[in-house]
Amino acid sequence: MGVVSRGFAGRGRSDPKLPPGQYLTKDFPVLSAGPTPRVDTDRWAFAITAETGQEHSWNWAQLHQLPSETVTVDLHCVTKWSKLGTVWEGVSLDTLMAGVESAADHALVHSYGGYTTNLPLEDLLDGQAWLAYRYDGTDLEPEHGGPVRLLVPHLYLWKSAKWVRGIQLLLDDHPGFWESLGYHNYGDPWREQRYWGD
Amino acid sequence: MARAAVLGRLSWQVAQIAAVRPETDTARTLVLDVPDWPGHRAGQHVDVRLTAEDGYTAQRSYSIASAPGGPPALTVQRVDGGEVSPYLVDIAAPGDRFEVRGPVGGYFTWQPGDHAPVLLVAGGSGVVPLMSMVRARAAAGSRVPFRLLYSTRTPATVIYADELRRRSRDDHGLDIAYAYTRVAPPEHPRPPGRLDAVLLAEWGWPTEFAPNCYVCGPTGFVETVANLLVDAGHDPARVRTERFGG
């Protein structure tokens, strides 16, 4: 146990749904390193690029022709807030990856506006990740990543790249934006992997 | 893109409150004594961990207000109904201890080697990391032109009011302007109102100066200001944001 802070009682005991060091919020805070990019759905496109250079891409209409899923998930931001029971609609990465041939173990996610984040490819598969375009029953707002964001709720939220435009499959790991700036390469909230060395 | 400012493992360290300084009715500065403080850059923050008698812990992040080179000082705004900030603002006293981990954050930072003009836009207690930059500029003897545009409710909610008054007189090349949203002082040239495109154009830098813009405040404020800057023609890559609230 750490040093006791005299006179600090705290608000309550921990909720078992909260990973260590997190607190509950009912709002939906926004965290981005820069301005919110404006992405017109008429020009929106998303591509998965295999390590061979082979590219699979979808435009807005094509994405919506794919079967969608509605999922209820908990969100955990590295800045300490967690939001439980959020409802999203989008396309599973399993659906998008179905026709992609790759021997890659790593993925680098790219966003409109230049943001990147990396994660193991296996964390995008088996019902763990979606391209989400609706939140809480309405079209995803730009400040929350609309028109389309990646949703990987089992990792800290910076991995769920907003304004997603592509996923690059790689044989070697390549750290993304925050991962190059001191944040953990994997980011498991239950192991409190916030920063390098955690 | 800025490279890593956080190297190696960040361990929890015991911080002792060396001094407290009231800033407004709802904010105060805690100067910390952290024996192995590794130093920080202007704009970075720390994680704070409080531990209760029964072992319960709570963590939050707070921006560092002090210039690099000295002990870290945090300015904390009380959030009504909050769990950690009321303790830090109302209860904690010199000699009390908690844990910190940091500094954290390698992007929303300014260093004296950055020579582009700087626009700082603060909403409320979003002024804290920007104040660290203003102090860092003075401490380094930098001549980089700085403009601080500070949106606040009333004259009484201005954090660092005396120091800002002094610096606007003494720190050559630093301009400070206020946008009061509720009540403006009698001599103020503008009626109370939100920060808008006109004020940003008047007090910001022309886009051709390619300034580095730092915007910090509540989510809605930052969203609005960042959009206004991009609409005015500033390169989005030069607009760095830090948002809080939730």
In a domain, B1, yes or no: no
Tell if the CB–CB gap between A8 and B50 is shorter than 8 Å: yes
Q: Tell me whether A101 touches chain B (CB under 8 Å).
A: no
Report pLDDT digits (tens) over B122-138: 999 999 999 999 999 99
B91 lies in the same domain as B126:
no
Determine the residue among A18, A78, A116, A181 to mutate to test chain B binding: the one whose Cβ has the most chain B Cβ atoms within 10 Å.
Answer: A181
How many H-runs (helices) and E-runs (strands) does chain B carry?
Answer: 5, 11
B125 lies in the same domain as B208:
yes
CATH value at residue B34: 2.40.30.10
E strand map for chain B = 13-22, 27-33, 45-51, 57-63, 73-77, 97-104, 118-123, 146-152, 174-180, 212-218, 239-244
Average pLDDT over residues B176-202: 94
Topology of domain A54-191, CATH = Sulfite Oxidase; Chain A, domain 2 (3.90.420)
Q: Does the pLDDT value for residue B8 go beyond 80?
A: no
Task: Let me know: does A167 contact A49? Beta carbons within 8 Å.
Answer: yes
Average pLDDT over residues B204-229: 96
Point out the residue among A13, A33, A177 whose CB comes nearest to the CB of B56.
Answer: A13
CATH value at residue B150: 3.40.50.80
Q: Tell me whether A2 touches chain B (CB under 8 Å).
A: yes
B96 lies in the same domain as B151:
no
B168 lies in the same domain as B194:
yes
Amino acid (one-letter) located at B8: G
Report pLDDT digits (tens) over B41-67: 999 999 999 999 999 999 999 999 999
Specify the pLDDT at position A28: 76
Specify the pLDDT at position A15: 83
Cα–Cα distances (Å) from A8 to A23, A95, B53, B82, B90, in that order, read: 16, 49, 8, 13, 11
Q: Does the pLDDT value for residue B1 go beyond 50?
A: no
In a domain, B7, yes or no: no
State which residues form the domain around B23.
13-104
Point out the residue among A4, A33, A36 whose CB comes nearest to the CB of B240.
Answer: A33
The residue written with tokens 């103020």 in the block is B188
Task: Count up the domains in chain B and report the number.
Answer: 2
Least confidently predicted of B94-98, B172-176, B186-190: B186-190
B91 lies in the same domain as B149:
no
B92 lies in the same domain as B149:
no
pTM of the model: 0.94
Average pLDDT over residues B169-193: 95
Of the candidates B35, B33, B228, B1, the one whose C-alpha atom is nearest the C-alpha of residue A176 is B1
Task: Let me know: does A20 contact A192? Beta carbons within 8 Å.
Answer: yes
How high is the mean pLDDT of chain A? 95
Least confidently predicted of B102-106, B146-150, B235-239: B102-106
Q: How many angstroms separate the CA of residue B36 from the nearest CA in chain A?
A: 16
In a domain, B196, yes or no: yes
Task: Let me know: does A43 contact A67? Beta carbons within 8 Å.
Answer: no
Can you tell me whether residue B99 is helix, strand or coil? strand
The residue written with tokens 């005396």 in the block is B162
Indicate the pLDDT class of residue B3, thresholds 50, 70 and 90. Answer: very low
B178 lies in the same domain as B85:
no
Buried b (16+ CB within 10 A) or exposed e, B138-174: bebebebbbbbbbbbeeeebbbbbeebeebeeebeeb
In a domain, B111, yes or no: no
In a domain, B3, yes or no: no
Tell if the CB–CB gap between B52 and A5 is shorter than 8 Å: yes
Contacting residues of B for A193, CB less than 8 Å apart: none
Cα–Cα distances (Å) from A108 to A21, A56, B44, in that order, read: 27, 15, 26
Give the end-to-end CA distance of chain A in Å, rounded to a whole number: 17
Radius of gyration of chain B from its Cα atoms, rounded to whole angstroms: 18
Determine the residue among B47, B79, B101, B229 to mutate to test chain A binding: the one whose Cβ has the most chain A Cβ atoms within 10 Å.
Answer: B47
Domain termination residue (choose one: B104, B128, B147):
B104
Average pLDDT over residues B64-75: 96
Of the candidates B55, B114, B58, B116, the one whose C-alpha atom is nearest the C-alpha of residue B83 is B58
Tell if the CB–CB gap between B49 and A2 is shorter than 8 Å: yes
Tell if the CB–CB gap between B91 and A7 is shorter than 8 Å: yes
Amino acid (one-letter) located at A135: Y
Contacting residues of B for A144, CB less than 8 Å apart: none
Point out the residue among B5, B57, B240 whose CB comes nearest to the CB of A182.
Answer: B5
Tell if the CB–CB gap between B5 and A1 is shorter than 8 Å: no
Cis geometry, peptide bond prior to residue B86 (ω within 30 degrees of 0): no
Of the candidates B130, B155, B132, the one whose C-alpha atom is nearest the C-alpha of residue B240 is B130
Tell if the CB–CB gap between B108 and A36 is shorter than 8 Å: no
Cis geometry, peptide bond prior to residue B185 (ω within 30 degrees of 0): no
B238 lies in the same domain as B206:
yes
Where in chain A are the domains?
Answer: 54-191
What are A152's two structure tokens?
């990987």
Q: Does the pLDDT value for residue B4 go beyond 50?
A: no
Q: Tell me whether A45 touches chain B (CB under 8 Å).
A: no
Q: Tell me whether A185 touches chain B (CB under 8 Å).
A: no
How high is the mean pLDDT of chain B? 94
Q: So what's the ipTM on this one?
A: 0.91
Amino acid (one-letter) located at B134: V
B224 lies in the same domain as B132:
yes
Contacting residues of A for B41, CB less than 8 Å apart: none
**What is the β-pairing status of strands B118-123 and B146-152?**
parallel
B84 lies in the same domain as B124:
no
SS (H, E, C) B194-219: CCCHHHHHHHCCCHHHCCEEEEEEEH
Of the candidates B70, B107, B100, the one whose C-alpha atom is nearest the C-alpha of residue B10 is B100
Which residues in chain A land under pLDDT 70?
A: 1, 13
CA distance B17 to B73: 9
In a domain, B6, yes or no: no
Report pLDDT digits (tens) over A118-158: 999 999 999 999 999 999 999 999 999 999 999 999 999 99
B93 lies in the same domain as B189:
no
Q: Tell me whether A15 touches chain B (CB under 8 Å).
A: no
Q: Which residue of A has its CA nearest to B4?
A: A181
Domain termination residue (choose one: B104, B139, B173):
B104
Query: Is residue A150 classed exposed, middle or buried when 0-12, 13-18 and 19+ CB atoms within 10 A define those classes?
Result: buried
B75 lies in the same domain as B123:
no
Indicate the pLDDT class of residue B2, thresholds 50, 70 and 90. Answer: very low
